[in-house]
Structure 1
């Protein structure tokens, strides 16, 4: 009898293990999504309370490299479409890249009134350091460079630039005074800790669109949470969270 009970418990444990795994997911997400994605996940969990989601934030390029090197991420939400396409091209994605929202960039400062500023003002002598995300790994940094080049101020500002590895670091640099002005994500500017200061949204026509995409990674191909979360991203509830936090979404 004791042997039979032990056998039944062992079988039960083996049957429940895959189900338990399927209730968990790890998302690698661009720093521009903090804390927006936390709120999207909270809305998701109100419908799927049994699902456990962990979010790892970082620069999209760094996260892409980690996924290609075997990092245990089931889902990737980038700040652009190029990095998800790279994962798909290299066989590291289980789905085709899809756009979930479009980002915007803005001028923000703790030291000066950024609401009265333009990109051309960044070249003025009164402005010292200008913080942007590292363009080689962070799409928001790429778009900041494109916008400055478009208005002809890049050459005047290049020597003033200080770089954050991701857009959250850029916001911290501007907040701390390590930079006089930061070009950061509108989604961060809209958060309470920054929203009290003035800001200027940069014309989207000055840079390539900040279409932000996601893929389910090869590791997450059979993950039930990844499948339901993919569907949730297109719901009115998720889109409302993105919109309220400064992203553009398709209606």
Structure 2
């Protein structure tokens, strides 16, 4: 009897260890500092947007590019309500309109480095701006420590003033659009912004900021970004991409 039980116990313990390893692997986050930040303002109700959505999907394959997809709401009236649309995203785009002295907001719009914008489906133009602003997101070299779900970010001393934003994202989502200009299309969205909020200010002094990732996980998010942006909506000085 004991001879039979012992192997069963050993096997059970081995399986348990494998399961624990799988869980730990699933919750382990990775963090890196990209070179460039690209923001796409898009809408599921906009027939001109899918090529830009596809382009962003290609850009984010490069770890040096942090691409973020901001769903806006002002095309919802056409017949399909963007399920990722947010008034906070609308407000951010409007802030850029003022910074760029533009007469209106539009989709698809890509903002590169927080300093220049271009039609989001203009591949050569977007690639040109990325090359032009390469390295802007490392103007401040960040240091960080990840301990479980606690991310401690250390900003160095420098000059200027900036807002530190945290952006909760879904890394990939497929949407079956059933009404409006894109009726019948299934579109894949990458690094979808689900929430953006300020973490605090950086005023040129060395500073540490803590982010707890547990709430993001609980809400179903599988990534986030940290953006250090001059004067709130100006040039982006630094960024981190966190994969949950």
Same fold (TM over 0.5): no
Which has more strand, going by share of residues? 2
Of structures 1 and 2, the one with the larger relative CO (CA 8 A, separation 6+) is 1
Which has more helix, going by share of residues? 1
Report the TM-score, using the length of structure 1 for normalisation: 0.26
Report the TM-score, using the length of structure 2 for normalisation: 0.26
